[in-house]
Amino acid sequence: MAIAYKKQVDSDTEFALWKIEEKAEDLYNKLQLDDQEKAYVEKLSLGKRHLHWLAVRVLLRTMLNTSEFIDCRIDSHGKPYLVSLPYHISLSHSFDYAAVMMSRTSPVGIDIEQIREKVERLAYKFMRPEELAFIDGVDPVKHLYAAWCAKEAVYKCFGQKEVSFANHISLEPFNFALPGTVNARLAKGDVSLDYHVHYLQYEDYMIGYVKG
């Protein structure tokens, strides 16, 4: 499979989706990995986690349009970064899709989630009472996924651990529309950052993305 969807966010920022239809071996053969990465892949159990790791990196390689080795590492907070290429990146995956966002100038965050009814049972874990109050009664599941993806995108863009979605990331009230936007604030200690997050639906997936 090639890139299934691609969006140019601005002149130096874009994201893309890869539909995972290949077997793990086929994805593996599209990559150049160092010994550490090869050892990590061997430890992954066969299944979606294995496919997701491979597919995200195939997509990254495709977007960068290179056949050279890409030194993609994870920092102490779990945020991916490129050692020798001038891009900020964010990675995500859900079921049959992998997602990569990149920018030359600013940190980015992206999240993709398959839309499922169970989000209503879990909403209290990531939404404040005042946020739950503005969720649309007409399509609450999608509205909640837009909120979840927005918070996840902000979390990834900020790129540090120990951030609570409910306690540290707040959303301004927003009406659910596709595509849509929501204003968010990350406030923790001395940090207070405002974000303008975009979201859209692709097939039965919600995607949230933001540029810092």
pLDDT in tens, 127-177: 999 999 999 888 999 999 999 999 999 999 999 999 999 999 999 999 999
Query: Domain of 40?
Result: 3-106
Instruction: Judge if 12 and 87 occupy the same domain.
Output: yes
**Residue whose C-alpha is closest to residue 70's, from 40, 31, 97, 39:** 31
Per cent of the chain over pLDDT 70 is: 99
Determine the average pLDDT of the residues in 79-87: 96
Number of domains in the chain: 2
Instruction: Judge if 118 and 92 occupy the same domain.
Output: no
Instruction: Judge if 125 and 145 occupy the same domain.
Output: yes
pLDDT of res. 103: 98
The average confidence (pLDDT) of the chain is: 95
- Domain endpoint, select from 90, 106, 122: 106
Beta bridge partners of 187: 192
Instruction: Judge if 78 and 15 occupy the same domain.
Output: yes
- Domain endpoint, select from 61, 85, 106: 106
Determine the average pLDDT of the residues in 199-204: 98
pLDDT of res. 180: 98
Entry pTM? 0.95
Is the pLDDT reported for residue 101 higher than 80? yes
Instruction: Judge if 78 and 150 occupy the same domain.
Output: no
Stronger pLDDT, 42 or 208, i.e. the higher one: 208
What's the CATH code of the domain at 12?
A: 3.90.470.20
Is the pLDDT reported for residue 39 higher than 90? no
**Confidence bin at 54 (pLDDT 50/70/90):** very high
- Domain endpoint, select from 78, 106, 134: 106
Instruction: Judge if 143 and 85 occupy the same domain.
Output: no
When mean pLDDT is compared over 1-5, 25-29, 67-71, 96-100, the highest value belongs to: 96-100
